[in-house]
């Protein structure tokens, strides 16, 4: 081997360097996208949407409390759940559009994936509790599981969101141990009161 | 003779360097890289501009949390962007608390768009 060959071997990185420049450009683009997604978590949760959900939940609490059968009570809350999903979907989309960020980009996707498993678990558990004739545990289970979803989904958002989830979990745990007569109060305080309070905080602090 | 051929080789190498750039990087890529806006090429400043591009406005503490940086560092880099006219700063009081709000200006948005197109040019040229 000639001495020059040895030098060439040592200074081999030549062909590696153009891809490095290309990789840096890719890395910069990735960084820009991630920063945009991370920053919109600050404003992605629709505060006014939560206020609206809180309002409809308070109405649902009153209507459900006047139902004479469990089936009627359940139907009112299922309807409220569907209305809430529509409100949150519409308000999240509206807020995302305001900052030119597609709903299913980072924050929206993370929130949906984090919130879905506890909601599905809640639906399954509801059926099990109905079959076991232990319907008095349903409000507590709903509040607890919804709170779990909000805490996990809220990890990507403003501190007020996971805090709201913790409050839901606390209310859910309390409802499970409280006499069944207080169920409607817990439902109203959670789905109505907590959504109203935290919705106003988020809307005022994080731009809508 | 040997010395003459070495000189020729050096000249040829210099010429090659002029058309392909160091380490074989095409000249067009090199010019794209040299045209980069150095002001926003710096990581933290690029982050500030990107975060503001995705939001109507952000407060100092929002930006600090997003960028996961210190007050001093954020202030210095935000000031540079403000001096360049890329971001606009509004200071106000919320109750008794002083707040600083940042917004991306039209010049700042243009600078980010140019930067993005430079990055895309670099990537395209390296692929071809």
Query: Structural domain boundaries of chain B?
Result: 22-127
Closest CA of chain A from B23, distance in Å: 5
pLDDT tens figures, A139-181: 999 999 999 998 988 776 777 888 999 999 999 999 999 999 9
C-beta of residue B99 within 8 angstroms of C-beta of residue A75: no
A18 domain-assigned: no
Does the CB of B51 have a partner CB in chain A at under 8 Å?
A: yes
Query: ∠B40-B41-B45 over CA atoms, to 5°?
Result: 45
Alpha helices per DSSP H over A100-157: 106-131, 138-154
Q: Which of residues 189-208 of A touch B (CB under 8 A)?
A: 207
Query: ∠B30-A35-A207 over CA atoms, to 5°?
Result: 140
- The secondary structure element, H or E, covering residue B94 is strand B87-94
A74 domain-assigned: yes
pLDDT recorded at residue A112: 76
Q: What is the rounded CA–CA span in Å between residue B42 and residue B91?
A: 25
| DSSP conformation class of B95 | T
- Domain of residue A142, residue span: 35-205
CATH of domain B22-127: 1.10.10.10
A73 domain-assigned: yes
Structure tokens at A19: 């891809």
What average pLDDT does chain A have?
A: 83
Q: Which of residues 13-42 of A touch B (CB under 8 A)?
A: 13-15, 17-19, 21-22, 25-26, 28-29, 31-33, 35-40, 42
pLDDT (tens, 9 = 90+) of chain A, 208 residues, equals 444 444 444 444 444 555 577 788 888 888 887 888 777 654 567 888 999 999 999 999 999 999 999 999 999 999 999 999 899 888 877 776 665 555 655 556 777 778 889 989 999 999 999 999 999 999 999 999 999 998 988 776 777 888 999 999 999 999 999 999 999 999 999 999 999 999 998 888 776 6
C-beta of residue B92 within 8 angstroms of C-beta of residue B101: yes
What ipTM does this complex have? Answer: 0.73
Phi, psi values for residue A183, rounded to 5°: -50, -45
A127 domain-assigned: yes
Q: What is the rounded CA–CA span in Å between residue A166 and residue A202?
A: 16
Phi, psi values for residue A109, rounded to 5°: -65, -45
Does the CB of A104 have a partner CB in chain B at under 8 Å?
A: no
Structure tokens at A98: 């305001």
A25 domain-assigned: no
Phi, psi values for residue B54, rounded to 5°: -95, -5
Query: Per the structure, how many domains does chain A have?
Result: 1
């Amino acid at each position: 081997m000639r001495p020059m060959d040895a030098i060439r071997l040592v200074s081999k990185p030549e062909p590696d360097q153009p891809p490095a420049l290309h990789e840096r450009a890719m890395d910069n683009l990735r960084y820009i996208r991630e920063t945009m997604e991370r920053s919109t978590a600050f404003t992605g949760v629709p505060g006014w949407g939560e206020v609206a959900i809180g309002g409809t939940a308070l109405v649902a609490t009153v209507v459900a409390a006047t139902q004479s059968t469990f089936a009627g009570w359940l139907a009112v809350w299922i309807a409220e759940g569907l209305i809430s999903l529509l409100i949150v979907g519409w308000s999240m989309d509206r807020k995302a559009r305001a900052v030119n960020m597609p709903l299913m980009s980072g924050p929206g996707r993370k929130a949906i994936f984090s919130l879905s498993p506890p909601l599905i678990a809640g639906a399954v558990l509801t059926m099990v509790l109905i079959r076991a004739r232990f319907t008095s545990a349903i409000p507590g289970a709903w509040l607890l599981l919804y709170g779990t979803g909000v805490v996990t989904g809220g990890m990507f958002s403003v501190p007020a969101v996971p805090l709201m989830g913790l409050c839901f979990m606390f209310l859910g745990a309390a409802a499970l141990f409280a006499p069944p007569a207080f169920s409607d109060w817990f439902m109203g305080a959670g789905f109505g009161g907590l959504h109203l309070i935290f919705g106003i905080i988020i809307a005022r602090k994080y731009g809508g | 003779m040997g010395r003459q051929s070495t000189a020729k080789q050096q000249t040829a190498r210099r010429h090659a360097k002029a058309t392909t750039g160091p380490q074989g990087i095409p000249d067009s890529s090199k010019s794209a890289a040299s045209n980069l806006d150095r002001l926003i090429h710096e990581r933290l400043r690029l982050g500030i501009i990107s975060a503001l591009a995705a939001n109507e406005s952000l407060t100092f503490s929002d930006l600090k949390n997003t960028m996961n940086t210190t007050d001093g560092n954020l202030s210095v880099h935000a000031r540079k962007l403000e001096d360049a006219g890329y971001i606009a700063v509004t200071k106000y009081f919320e109750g008794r608390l002083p707040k600083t709000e940042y917004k991306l200006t039209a010049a700042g948005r243009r600078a980010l768009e140019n930067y993005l197109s430079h990055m895309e040019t670099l990537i395209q040229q390296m692929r071809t």
